Chains A and B, each alone.
Chain A
Amino acid sequence: MTLLEAQGLDVGYKLPGSGLFGGSRFLPIVHDVSFTLEPGHTLGIVGESGCGKSTLGRALLHLTEPSAGKVLWQGQDMATIPELRRRRSEMQIIFQDPVAALDPRMTLARIVSRPLATFEPGLTRHEARARAVEALGKVGLSADFADRYPHELSGGQAQRVGIARALVGRPKLIICDEPVSALDVSIQAQVINLLMDLQENLGLALVFISHNLAVVRHISHEVMVMCLGRVVEYAPRGAFYAQPLHPYSQALMQAVPEPDPRREKGRIGTSLSGELPSVLSPPPGCVFASRCPKAADLCRTTRPDLREVVPGRLAACHFVEAP
């Protein structure tokens, strides 16, 4: 059974109004996102700052209420799940800044076991601590970490604690919001490998949100590219990285610097010109039109629909063709 499904999801924030009688305004961030995620799979969501990927991640757990559309958890509309707070043991989230996500005054055993007070209130303190130690063990931290405090940890260890806290309620899904962006390269690899091992051993599904296309390639089964709040491309990993269809995906791929001087020296001078439109005044046509080398008049006036270009591959571009 499909684990998670988004149907035409819109998400936005209420902004305070201007002046005495100015009503509050609604700022839409994410527009019309739909996808399905199967158990044990990883969906990578890629995009640049302000594309709405983190807002979408929060809305998938109803941490931010969607303004339209719905999220189905194992076929059930999340808005109708009674006591969603307790069901969240099945769906967890980890964040970019691993140290800020931990309470500095609590021991790691308390930090990790704390969600259990909501999920399994019947547990004794002793049982809860044992579960925390077990979760720490799963992320490679020995039992003697249980009585340490966050300030004693390196960034990589702190992120492991964040993952342990997500695991303690035995989830089926973890939303990972830029979980390795703040880490050194050697530590980043450790954490990515850990997430992949956990997925394999526990059958976890992951939504992996990142700006880093190379990291997403490594960990994802399916890839979704977002630009200014809209999905511009969705594809299985292999097909996507072999040949991205949307000009924006292609531009992103071109921009990522690889540790290969021959490839890179040939790419000097290929960067996009033009400025990114503002979230506050999105363009009427395609979100990428102002920077797209292939943009025509149509692109500036009419928004392209996300359509199935080849079976299983979606792209939102007037001119995209099957490869």
Chain B
Amino acid sequence: MPLTPMTDSLLSIKDLSVSFRLPEGETLAVDGVSLDLAPGEVLGIVGESGSGKSQILYAMMGLLAANGRASGQVLFEGQNLLSLLPAQLDRLRGNAVSMIFQDPMTSLNPYMRVGDQLAEGLIVHKGISRTQAQAEAVRMLDRVRIPDAAARARRFPHEFSGGMRQRVMIAMALLAKPRLLLADEPTTALDVTIQAQVLDLMAELGRETGTAIILVTHDLGVVARLCDRVVVLYGGRVMEEASAETLFDAPVHPYTRGLLAAMPRLETALTPRLGTIPGTPRSGGQVIGCPFVSRCEARLPDCAIHRPPLRDLTALDHRHRVACHLTGTAP
């Protein structure tokens, strides 16, 4: 697979596959994904259920379920995360690399005051005193616009609203000034006005600390607001990768085009019906040809037999890649 060599990359994922052992056999969730991320860059990974988008993050952080196995390489600042020992990963997680999840309540300890939870990471990773760490935690809560941060730091998670909890998670994730933040559907459970607040915060704080972000989401609108670059995933494989502008203005892959046509919008002219992709998203399992073939209305006989390689399409964007046999003929 052709890979643009990136000398300045913070993260370089090479041929990452994730499989799970199930009673009915081995199933492949992520199938040979390669991508690069520069320091400070915001990358969106978009896909429907079962596309493997979250498993990429879990594999990177050593958080796969017990029956899961990852192969390939995840080079973070030159170090392969997949070969690290648990103790080495612990030094990295919550320090150089942080992660936030969809449901903040399951990530916060219900028995621990919010301020103490935030401070804990700093005490462990940075070796500063409890008092200093507490002060730093309050400062960070204030940065994510928790009203009356000093008093709030002494409260427990259940005393916070959903939007506030997610802001606490962001405060916690960015406290150690990580070089990479992994966010798995961070705003999916939130109302739109709260989502807008959280996205604003991620954009602002990411820029301030120079933190690179990988945002995993099913929502193309969220990607458009936050991301510099987008990877579209289907059936565990990269279908298309481009800058946000190129992907939304000139999508090439039939799947990307189908997804965009299926999205109801606020500002474009109304059509009598939405565009649709027939069938349902596939999840996992080995395929011989293109994983999208059964739902693709532009398929060629070759698509079911040969796996389309991820090809560079540099006409619009020097990092535009598409895995489709039609790319030679598509506009």
Q: Mark A301-312, 1 if CB is under 8 A from B, else 0.
A: 000000000000
Q: Mark A244-266, 1 if CB is under 8 A from B, else 0.
A: 00000001111111111111110
- A27 interface hit (Cβ, 8 Å): no
Q: Mark A153-188, 1 if CB is under 8 A from B, else 0.
A: 011110000000000000000000000000011111
In the complex the two chains form, is A270's CB within 8 Å of B262's CB?
Answer: no
- A190 interface hit (Cβ, 8 Å): yes
How distant is A140 from chain B, measured CB to nearest CB, in Å? 11
- Interface-side segment among B3-11, B23-31, B219-227: B219-227
How distant is A153 from chain B, measured CB to nearest CB, in Å? 10
Residue of A nearest to B220 (CB): A259
Residue of B nearest to A258 (CB): B221
In the complex the two chains form, is B192's CB within 8 Å of A264's CB?
Answer: no
CA distance A197 to B199 in the complex (A): 36
In the complex the two chains form, is B259's CB within 8 Å of A214's CB?
Answer: no
Residues in B254-302 with C-beta less than 8 Å from chain A: 258-267, 270, 273-277, 280-281, 295
Residues in A259-302 with C-beta less than 8 Å from chain B: 259-265, 267-273, 275-276, 291
- B317 interface hit (Cβ, 8 Å): no
- A218 interface hit (Cβ, 8 Å): yes
Given contacts A48-B191, A252-B192, A268-B225, whether A186 and B265 have CB atoms under 8 Å apart is: no
Residues in A168-219 with C-beta less than 8 Å from chain B: 184-190, 192-193, 196-197, 211-215, 217-218
How distant is B135 from chain A, measured CB to nearest CB, in Å? 24
CA distance A188 to B264 in the complex (A): 9
In the complex the two chains form, is A192's CB within 8 Å of B274's CB?
Answer: yes
Residues of A within 8 A of B222 (CB): 257
Q: Which of B164, B191, B280 is in CB contact (< 8 Å) with A211? A: B191
In the complex the two chains form, is A185's CB within 8 Å of B218's CB?
Answer: yes
- B48 interface hit (Cβ, 8 Å): yes
- A243 interface hit (Cβ, 8 Å): no
CA distance A253 to B265 in the complex (A): 11
Residue of B nearest to A215 (CB): B264
In the complex the two chains form, is A253's CB within 8 Å of B266's CB?
Answer: yes
Residue of B nearest to A253 (CB): B266
- B58 interface hit (Cβ, 8 Å): no
Given contacts A156-B280, A258-B221, whether A189 and B262 have CB atoms under 8 Å apart is: yes
Given contacts A48-B191, A187-B280, A271-B196, whether A258 and B266 have CB atoms under 8 Å apart is: yes
In the complex the two chains form, is A271's CB within 8 Å of B200's CB?
Answer: yes
In the complex the two chains form, is B270's CB within 8 Å of A259's CB?
Answer: no
Chain A residues in the interface with B (C-beta under 8 A): 48-49, 154-157, 184-190, 192-193, 196-197, 211-215, 217-218, 241, 251-265, 267-273, 275-276, 291
9 further A-B contacts with Cβ under 8 Å, apart from A218-B274, A255-B192, A259-B221, are: A186-B276, A189-B261, A189-B262, A193-B273, A193-B274, A259-B265, A260-B267, A271-B197, A271-B200
